[in-house]
């Protein structure tokens, strides 16, 4: 945990967590790093409610599942206290629901509890975010007078407000009754591509262009609506801000009136939040459902068709019968592989993936994968080579997961390598560096530069124009998770059209840990 930035004042923290191990991990982290937290622990929703009645808190850290309810039950009684949502399972739907319910951030409690390392920064940012919003409310009340007076004092106060808003994660714009921009923070500057000093004084319609992500048509002008009705207005779930270069930034837009004491509207404040990640998650879910539906339907259709042919043709020739059965077997294996991948990802996300630690001969595992996939390579007219030591290379690990790592990488290389290409598997222990290097290289299509940061994301598939590549985008995600469980890392080098090289670097000796709890066995 980093504590250097959180030394100046004491923060009152309420931890709502029913898992005693996670409670202890939090307490130890606070003690170890000397964090200035006056913390209180509640194990249930009821206990949290009692604590909130008797004490004021700066921030509340809430686990999703509690003994007598969920984090959302706690959210209902927090008022405007900043809240941070934690969970042991990376459910994207729950993440989106938490953020919509007012969570400042969403943290997944990983096996190694790395989330505790970033928690201090998140807590500080959540508190600062709340304080900035409080300052913003104070300034909103002063804006009524500032807009009317139009004096040098207005310019000075706007500059001060801009400095305050610069630290906010949300974009904020304020306009007067004529829709001229009087406040414009750095986040909006980044999203829109318009410099604040150029935007000030301009009509907001010249700078802020919101369109529908699907149709590209302009969205309803919510600023006009607020000026007309004097009521809060929220945009749609398909809103995108158009940058100066024409690029689209998915945003959540809301606008509220700035009113005089007498109730007259004298301006509007607009808040923009970048929701690119949330939209990507939604799209990945849609793509996954579509991909899985197709991948399931194709083999099932073949199995049903050939099964029907066998059953409806009693006099079917033996050779034809055997060919049909071989096709059924192949498609059944394809189904089993797909379902197996989905189940593995599900176990990883739920935190139920177990590690069976034992001595693993990586050389033997690699050669087993090589032998199993040689027929696949031959079928595609691809040369599959292996550079594996004859002697055993022993590490502590899970043999089945190690085989899945190597098999997924080689399968992936074969999938993206055309006929007459080459794929090579190598195993190289580097005792001096204390690491085991497993490399899979190919002479295939390569990976576009812009896709490299995303290839290990779940359900992500690289788009290949004019080419249909089977798969659901789970293989590399599984590889990354399994490598991490073994205490290693995965690196990739690739150039489009010139092939790829995936390198797994594992420690030759590791501390054996539980996949779920992270404790030494």
CA distance 367 to 386: 8
Clarify whether residues 374 and 480 are in a common domain: yes
Q: What average pLDDT does range 428-436 have in this prediction?
A: 80
Clarify whether residues 57 and 113 are in a common domain: yes
Q: What is the CATH number of the domain that holds 476?
A: 3.30.565.10
Residue after which a domain boundary falls, among 274, 300, 334: 274
Q: What are phi and psi of 68, to 5 degrees?
A: -115, 20
Clarify whether residues 259 and 335 are in a common domain: no
Q: Is residue 138 part of a domain?
A: no
**Cα-based angle 199, 130, 8 (whole degrees, multiple of 5):** 110
Judged by DSSP in three states, 492 sits in strand
Q: What is the CATH number of the domain that holds 71?
A: 3.40.50.2300
User: DSSP class of residue 274?
Assistant: E
CA–chain centroid gap for 130, Å, is 24
Domain that holds residue 487: 353-521
- Tallying the residues shown for the chain, one arrives at 521
Residues 6+ apart with CB under 8 A from 99: 85, 106, 278
Q: Is residue 5 part of a domain?
A: no
Clarify whether residues 424 and 490 are in a common domain: yes
Q: Is residue 253 part of a domain?
A: yes
| Token pair recorded at residue 124 | 């500080």
Clarify whether residues 296 and 398 are in a common domain: no
pLDDT beyond 70 at 294: no
Q: Is the dihedral of CA 203, 256, 80, 69 positive or negative?
A: negative
Q: What are phi and psi of 433, to 5 degrees?
A: -90, -5
How many CB atoms lie under 10 A from the CB of residue 520? 8
Helices 318-350, 276-312: axis angle to 10 degrees equals: 150
How many CB atoms lie under 10 A from the CB of residue 206? 11
Clarify whether residues 172 and 119 are in a common domain: no
Residues 6+ apart with CB under 8 A from 479: 404, 405, 408, 409, 456, 490, 502, 504
What digits encode the pLDDT tens for the residues 123-175? 889 889 888 888 877 777 676 666 666 556 556 665 665 566 666 778 888 89
Clarify whether residues 197 and 180 are in a common domain: yes
Q: How high is the mean pLDDT of the chain?
A: 82
Clarify whether residues 453 and 309 are in a common domain: no
- Per-residue model confidence (pLDDT) at position 275: 85
What digits encode the pLDDT tens for the residues 215-258? 888 888 988 999 888 888 998 888 888 887 788 888 889 999 98
Nearest one of 345, 271, 333, 281 to 302, comparing CA atoms: 333
Q: What is the CATH number of the domain that holds 194?
A: 3.30.450.20
Clarify whether residues 253 and 284 are in a common domain: no
Clarify whether residues 55 and 106 are in a common domain: yes
Residue after which a domain boundary falls, among 222, 252, 274: 274
Nearest one of 11, 133, 16, 135 to 75, comparing CA atoms: 16
Residue 286 contacts residue 272 (beta carbons within 8 Å) = no
Biggest distance spanned by C-alpha atoms of the chain: 98
Q: What is the CATH number of the domain that holds 300?
A: 1.10.287.130
pLDDT beyond 50 at 6: no
Task: Please state the domain count of the chain.
Answer: 4
Clarify whether residues 404 and 516 are in a common domain: yes
Clarify whether residues 415 and 333 are in a common domain: no
Percent of the chain with pLDDT over 70: 84
Q: Is residue 137 part of a domain?
A: no
Residue after which a domain boundary falls, among 241, 256, 274: 274
Q: Is residue 107 part of a domain?
A: yes
| Token pair recorded at residue 333 | 């294996």
Q: Is residue 329 part of a domain?
A: yes
Q: Is residue 385 part of a domain?
A: yes
pLDDT band (50, 70, 90) for residue 421: very high
Q: Is residue 172 part of a domain?
A: yes
pLDDT beyond 60 at 458: yes
- Per-residue model confidence (pLDDT) at position 364: 94
pLDDT beyond 90 at 67: no
């Amino acid at each position: 945990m980093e504590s250097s930035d959180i030394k100046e004042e004491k923060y009152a923290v309420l931890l709502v967590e029913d898992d005693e191990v996670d409670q202890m991990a939090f307490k130890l982290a606070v003690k170890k790093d000397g964090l200035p937290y006056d913390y209180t622990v509640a194990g249930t929703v009821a206990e949290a409610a009692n604590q909130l009645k008797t004490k004021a808190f700066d921030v509340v850290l809430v686990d999703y599942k509690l003994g007598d309810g969920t984090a959302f039950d706690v959210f209902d009684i927090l008022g405007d206290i900043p809240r941070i949502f934690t969970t042991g399972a990376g459910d994207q739907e729950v993440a989106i629901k938490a953020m919509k319910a007012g969570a400042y951030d969403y943290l997944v409690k990983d096996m190694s509890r790395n989330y505790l390392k970033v928690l201090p920064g998140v807590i500080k940012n959540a508190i600062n975010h709340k304080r900035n919003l409080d300052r913003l409310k104070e300034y909103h009340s002063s804006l009524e007078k500032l807009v009317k007076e139009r004096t040098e004092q207005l310019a000075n106060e706007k500059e001060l407000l801009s400095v305050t808003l610069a630290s906010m994660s949300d974009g904020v714009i304020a306009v007067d009754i004529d829709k001229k921009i009087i406040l414009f923070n750095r986040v909006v500057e980044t999203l829109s591509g318009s410099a604040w000093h150029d935007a000030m004084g301009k009509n907001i319609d010249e700078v802020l262009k919101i369109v529908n992500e699907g149709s590209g048509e302009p969205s309803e002008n919510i600023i006009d609506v607020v000026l007309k009705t004097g009521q809060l207005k929220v945009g749609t779930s398909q809103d995108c801000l158009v940058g100066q270069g024409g690029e689209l930034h998915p945003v959540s837009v809301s606008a509220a009136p700035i009113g005089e004491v007498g109730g007259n509207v004298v301006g509007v404040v607009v808040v923009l939040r970048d929701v690119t990640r949330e939209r990507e998650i939604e799209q990945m879910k849609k793509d996954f459902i579509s991909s899985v539906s197709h991948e399931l339907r194709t083999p099932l259709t073949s199995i049903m068709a050939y099964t029907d042919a066998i059953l409806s043709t009693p006099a079917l020739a033996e050779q034809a019968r055997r060919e049909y059965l071989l096709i059924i077997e192949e498609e059944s294996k394809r189904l089993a592989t797909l379902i197996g991948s989905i189940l593995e990802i599900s176990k990883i996300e739920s935190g139920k993936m177990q590690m069976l630690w034992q001595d693993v001969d990586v050389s033997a595992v690699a050669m087993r994968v090589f032998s199993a996939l040689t027929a696949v390579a031959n079928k595609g007219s691809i040369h599959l080579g292996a550079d594996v030591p004859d002697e055993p290379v022993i590490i502590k690990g899970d043999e089945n997961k190690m085989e899945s790592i190597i098999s997924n990488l080689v399968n992936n290389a074969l999938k993206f390598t055309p006929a007459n290409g080459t794929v090579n598997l190598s195993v190289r222990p580097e005792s001096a560096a204390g690491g085991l290097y497993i490399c899979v290289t190919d002479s295939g299509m390569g990976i576009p530069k812009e896709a490299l940061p995303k290839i290990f994301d779940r359900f992500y598939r690289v788009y290949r124009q004019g080419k249909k590549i089977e798969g659901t985008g789970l293989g590399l995600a599984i590889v990354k998770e399994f490598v991490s469980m073994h205490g290693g890392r995965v690196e990739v080098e690739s150039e489009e059209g010139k092939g790829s090289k995936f390198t797994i670097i594992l420690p030759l000796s590791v501390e054996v840990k539980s996949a779920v709890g992270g404790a030494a066995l």
